[in-house]
Chain A
């Protein structure tokens, strides 16, 4: 099968059309109508957009049929996730990337996170109430950062704050993994794959940077593209 046909076959069999149709057009500039190819998935009737067994669809339906976190808990998660991943020069914030929605889903999918998250959120509110007579979300920005500073650094945190450290490490990890697996986060970290291409080896400037080179044997034997 030639490359042009391969890419067309690919476009016909997937929902992620944008990239593919571009690739298809690049490979097939002359053929009219390539951009009119309609995407079709073999189980397009499932709401997830990805191939699922019926048992997986049942699980998805169950997990999305109820809400785990209370509105107050969700508000706290939103504030914390934006403290962890704020908007900066490179990319948007955790809430821009809908990280709280991901956390809501993932604790239902991975029930082992439920108690540490729920308990940690309550622990945080009680710490704030003791110090500032307010729940975390009702504290001032400075107060929020003051308490976060006491649980964000595992090695220098006081012993009596260790439960908070565990909680903050968990929500930092959930926030990071939720953020960098979105389009915004993937671009931020610079992941450039997941698109049809021709692997022609490490770019020349990178080889030079690390003072490393392909051997003659490799250049002779390996697949090359001009």
Chain B
């Protein structure tokens, strides 16, 4: 290596935004449209779904037929670069604990492939400590966030129906798609045993909302990202429009190392390494906004030590990295004999479920404090790697066209079996609320750095009986629904206490939150109610880090609403010269 030097970019920005997912994308959009000069730094490459999506590729266009790789854990056509591991960027675990960390490296981050499940938090979700004494209340309530939910519903588009449910608040919805056949079966079966099933709420455009984005054409491939921008990705719906304002300089393939501060302890900018040339850079701005993901933002703060901030930036409370939590998850699947030998038709629909179950019970009567919702799958999916795997466990169990066969086999008879079972499978997944705890956290590993020399995170996350009992309840519910619809459980049915009833490891559901939480007391929370650091007024967080808790809802819609709220606050404060 030649002489080591750091290149300082001469331009001073109004805002340096780190990360281009939901939070960073929304901040970029709001600030750029307010006429502010923004520098957006993304650790991965440029990605425009219109050009780069693998949408409508056929299974055989992938040599591995869509199987997953470490580069694309959700399959070869998936719209997310990287996932559970990234070459040269390790993370570690404290002994006896487990965290699974998904990291995207691309413009738009995880929003290019996410499930588009867009659920508002309800009033209770902001004030749960007042209800059950666990965790903490947010410093804000539903009434503070509602106007922003309303705005993003209209700006970004979400389908659903107004059901008048307090904990699954109404919104400004596009019409949902009609349920598929297996979804009608699920709805009937679940309703019969007192479990509600309502249209799902996904940010997919079943009707056009503006001239830049198309209307859904029902290929079920939102996970690959959409070439006509008919679903919400931060890349397509926020950043690419923001770039057109001319107010955004986008720096890709660059890993932010540290937030820089001055003698007064205020943020002055960031330093970063540009991956392709491994050169070191600094860029300066009036504000620094972190949207790097809950864990990456915490890592960045903890690595930004200075004389004024010896414990890491905005961390005299010692709370940065603490309260890390994910949605809980447990799943089960089955087969519906009534659907054997189904008539064929195209039932792709939108990319995801057309119906779901919001939390419907009262936790006061249960042995776990927080709820969960249920997501459903099934039907005639595209054949991909793994399709028709394990026929030997299926074709000896049921009569096929009236004939009892021996399990396994080969030949023309086997081909008949594959046709017979296609489209009869169904699956369900519970996604629930875990309690955010101070003793479940991430911290800087004192001995390990990544290939850029940046100290890495060490995770120390655990679950308690609250989450385990909830998973047990999920499994019992799934089993009841499956039996009620005459289905036979084919997987996920034999979990026991020994494996926490199939409860996924924390992190696995990819809803990381809580590491840089907001609160009125600077001793208890790094951020105030605006997502602004108590100890550094020109530093903000706009990702899942700022969450106090995450409800039994997927967090993206709330990240977007809160990022918009914080961004409008930043615009206001900058215009008033308050920061």
Interface residues of A (CB under 8 A from B): 1-3, 5-7, 9-10, 13-16, 19-20, 41-43, 48-51, 53, 55-56, 59-60, 64, 83-86, 88-91, 102, 105-106, 109-110, 148, 152-156, 165, 168-169, 172-173, 176-178, 180-183, 185-186, 188-203, 205-206, 209-210, 212, 214, 218, 221-224
Inter-chain contact B208/A2, CB cutoff 8 Å: yes
> What are 28 A-B residue pairs whose CB atoms fall within 8 Å in the complex?
A2-B215, A6-B228, A6-B230, A10-B227, A13-B50, A48-B61, A50-B76, A51-B54, A56-B71, A84-B414, A88-B412, A88-B415, A91-B415, A154-B408, A172-B414, A173-B389, A173-B391, A176-B414, A176-B418, A180-B387, A193-B382, A195-B346, A197-B348, A202-B179, A202-B181, A206-B345, A218-B199, A223-B177
Task: Answer whether A199 and B387 are a contact pair too, CB < 8 Å, given A206-B181, A222-B177.
Answer: no
Q: How far is the CA of A222 from the CA of B349 in the complex (A)?
A: 13
Q: How far is the CA of A6 from the CA of B370 in the complex (A)?
A: 43
**Residues of chain A with a CB closer than 8 A to B219's CB:** 193-196
Whether, in the assembled complex, B218 has its beta carbon less than 8 Å from a beta carbon of chain A, the answer is yes
Question: How far apart are B273's CB and chain A's nearest CB, in angstroms?
Answer: 18
- Interface residues as binary, B29-52 with A (CB distance below 8 Å gives 1, 0 otherwise): 000000000000000010010111
Task: Answer whether A202 and B407 are a contact pair too, CB < 8 Å, given A6-B228, A194-B219, A222-B176.
Answer: no
Task: Answer whether A14 and B77 are a contact pair too, CB < 8 Å, given A173-B390, A192-B346, A196-B217.
Answer: no
Task: Answer whether A221 and B175 are a contact pair too, CB < 8 Å, given A155-B406, A199-B218.
Answer: yes
Inter-chain contact A185/B383, CB cutoff 8 Å: yes
Task: Answer whether A10 and B345 are a contact pair too, CB < 8 Å, given A59-B69, A186-B383, A202-B184.
Answer: no
Q: How far is the CA of A14 from the CA of B55 in the complex (A)?
A: 8
Whether, in the assembled complex, B151 has its beta carbon less than 8 Å from a beta carbon of chain A, the answer is no
**Residues of chain A with a CB closer than 8 A to B415's CB:** 85-86, 88, 90-91, 188
**Residues of chain A with a CB closer than 8 A to B346's CB:** 192-193, 195, 197
**Residues of chain A with a CB closer than 8 A to B343's CB:** 203, 205-206, 209
Whether, in the assembled complex, B438 has its beta carbon less than 8 Å from a beta carbon of chain A, the answer is no
**Residues of chain B with a CB closer than 8 A to A48's CB:** 61-63
**Residues of chain A with a CB closer than 8 A to B390's CB:** 173
**Residues of chain A with a CB closer than 8 A to B466's CB:** none
Inter-chain contact B57/A16, CB cutoff 8 Å: yes
**Residues of chain B with a CB closer than 8 A to A183's CB:** 58, 60
Inter-chain contact A60/B63, CB cutoff 8 Å: yes
**Residues of chain B with a CB closer than 8 A to A223's CB:** 159, 174-178, 206-207
Interface residues of B (CB under 8 A from A): 45, 48, 50-67, 69, 71-72, 76-77, 81, 87, 159, 161, 174-181, 184-185, 188, 199, 206-208, 210-215, 217-221, 227-230, 338, 342-350, 380, 382-392, 396, 406-412, 414-415, 418-419, 422
**Residues of chain A with a CB closer than 8 A to B211's CB:** 1
- Which residue of the partner chain B has the closest CB to A110? B67
Chain B facing A: main interface SS: loop
Inter-chain contact B214/A6, CB cutoff 8 Å: yes
Inter-chain contact A14/B348, CB cutoff 8 Å: no
Q: A194 is contacted by which of B56, B175, B179 (Cβ under 8 Å)?
A: B56
- Which residue of the partner chain B has the closest CB to A149? B410
Q: A154 is contacted by which of B77, B230, B338, B407 (Cβ under 8 Å)?
A: B407
Question: How far apart are B229's CB and chain A's nearest CB, in angstroms?
Answer: 8
Q: How far is the CA of A194 from the CA of B55 in the complex (A)?
A: 9
Question: How far apart are A53's CB and chain B's nearest CB, in angstroms?
Answer: 6
**Residues of chain B with a CB closer than 8 A to A88's CB:** 412, 415
- Which residue of the partner chain B has the closest CB to A190? B344
Question: How far apart are B478's CB and chain A's nearest CB, in angstroms?
Answer: 21
Q: A16 is contacted by which of B56, B382, B386 (Cβ under 8 Å)?
A: B56
Q: A1 is contacted by which of B60, B208, B347 (Cβ under 8 Å)?
A: B208
**Residues of chain A with a CB closer than 8 A to B212's CB:** 1
Q: How far is the CA of A160 from the CA of B391 in the complex (A)?
A: 22
- Which residue of the partner chain B has the closest CB to A214? B178
- Which residue of the partner chain B has the closest CB to A201? B178
Task: Answer whether A6 and B215 are a contact pair too, CB < 8 Å, given A59-B69, A194-B58.
Answer: yes
Inter-chain contact A20/B56, CB cutoff 8 Å: yes
Question: How far apart are B310's CB and chain A's nearest CB, in angstroms?
Answer: 38
Inter-chain contact B71/A55, CB cutoff 8 Å: yes
Question: Closest 4 CB pairs between A and B?
Answer: A6-B214, A201-B178, A42-B51, A193-B348
Q: How far is the CA of A113 from the CA of B396 in the complex (A)?
A: 25
**Residues of chain B with a CB closer than 8 A to A51's CB:** 52-54
Inter-chain contact B418/A180, CB cutoff 8 Å: yes
Inter-chain contact A16/B408, CB cutoff 8 Å: no
Q: How far is the CA of A41 from the CA of B215 in the complex (A)?
A: 22
Q: How far is the CA of A192 from the CA of B174 in the complex (A)?
A: 27
> Max chain A CB contacts within 10 Å: which of B56, B206, B213?
B56
Q: How far is the CA of A206 from the CA of B423 in the complex (A)?
A: 14
Contacts A59-B69, A155-B406 known; 9 new A-B pairs at CB < 8 A:
A1-B213, A6-B215, A48-B61, A50-B57, A83-B410, A83-B411, A85-B415, A165-B408, A178-B65
Inter-chain contact A189/B51, CB cutoff 8 Å: no
**Residues of chain B with a CB closer than 8 A to A222's CB:** 175-178, 199
Question: How far apart are B493's CB and chain A's nearest CB, in angstroms?
Answer: 20
Question: How far apart are B223's CB and chain A's nearest CB, in angstroms?
Answer: 13
- Which residue of the partner chain B has the closest CB to A64? B63
Question: How far apart are B187's CB and chain A's nearest CB, in angstroms?
Answer: 9
Inter-chain contact B380/A191, CB cutoff 8 Å: yes
> Max chain B CB contacts within 10 Å: which of A56, A64, A196, A199?
A199
Q: How far is the CA of A15 from the CA of B185 in the complex (A)?
A: 37
Inter-chain contact B214/A1, CB cutoff 8 Å: yes
Q: How far is the CA of A189 from the CA of B81 in the complex (A)?
A: 31
- Which residue of the partner chain A has the closest CB to B188? A212
Question: How far apart are B101's CB and chain A's nearest CB, in angstroms?
Answer: 18
Inter-chain contact B54/A50, CB cutoff 8 Å: yes
Question: How far apart are A221's CB and chain B's nearest CB, in angstroms?
Answer: 5
> Max chain A CB contacts within 10 Å: which of B87, B176, B380, B387?
B387
Inter-chain contact B66/A181, CB cutoff 8 Å: yes
Inter-chain contact A7/B217, CB cutoff 8 Å: yes
- Which residue of the partner chain A has the closest CB to B405? A153
Task: Answer whether A182 and B406 are a contact pair too, CB < 8 Å, given A3-B215, A192-B346, A221-B175.
Answer: no
Q: How far is the CA of A220 from the CA of B414 in the complex (A)?
A: 43
Inter-chain contact A221/B63, CB cutoff 8 Å: no
Q: A13 is contacted by which of B58, B227, B392 (Cβ under 8 Å)?
A: B227
**Residues of chain A with a CB closer than 8 A to B338's CB:** 210
Inter-chain contact A53/B347, CB cutoff 8 Å: no
**Residues of chain A with a CB closer than 8 A to B387's CB:** 176-177, 180-181
Q: How far is the CA of A9 from the CA of B390 in the complex (A)?
A: 40
**Residues of chain A with a CB closer than 8 A to B347's CB:** 193, 199, 202
Q: How far is the CA of A199 from the CA of B59 in the complex (A)?
A: 22
**Residues of chain B with a CB closer than 8 A to A56's CB:** 69, 71-72
Q: How far is the CA of A152 from the CA of B410 in the complex (A)?
A: 7
**Residues of chain B with a CB closer than 8 A to A198's CB:** 217-218
**Residues of chain A with a CB closer than 8 A to B56's CB:** 10, 14, 16, 19-20, 194-196
Inter-chain contact A181/B412, CB cutoff 8 Å: no
Q: How far is the CA of A22 from the CA of B512 in the complex (A)?
A: 43
**Residues of chain B with a CB closer than 8 A to A203's CB:** 343, 345
Q: How far is the CA of A203 from the CA of B45 in the complex (A)?
A: 43
Question: How far apart are A218's CB and chain B's nearest CB, in angstroms?
Answer: 6
**Residues of chain A with a CB closer than 8 A to B65's CB:** 102, 106, 177-178, 181
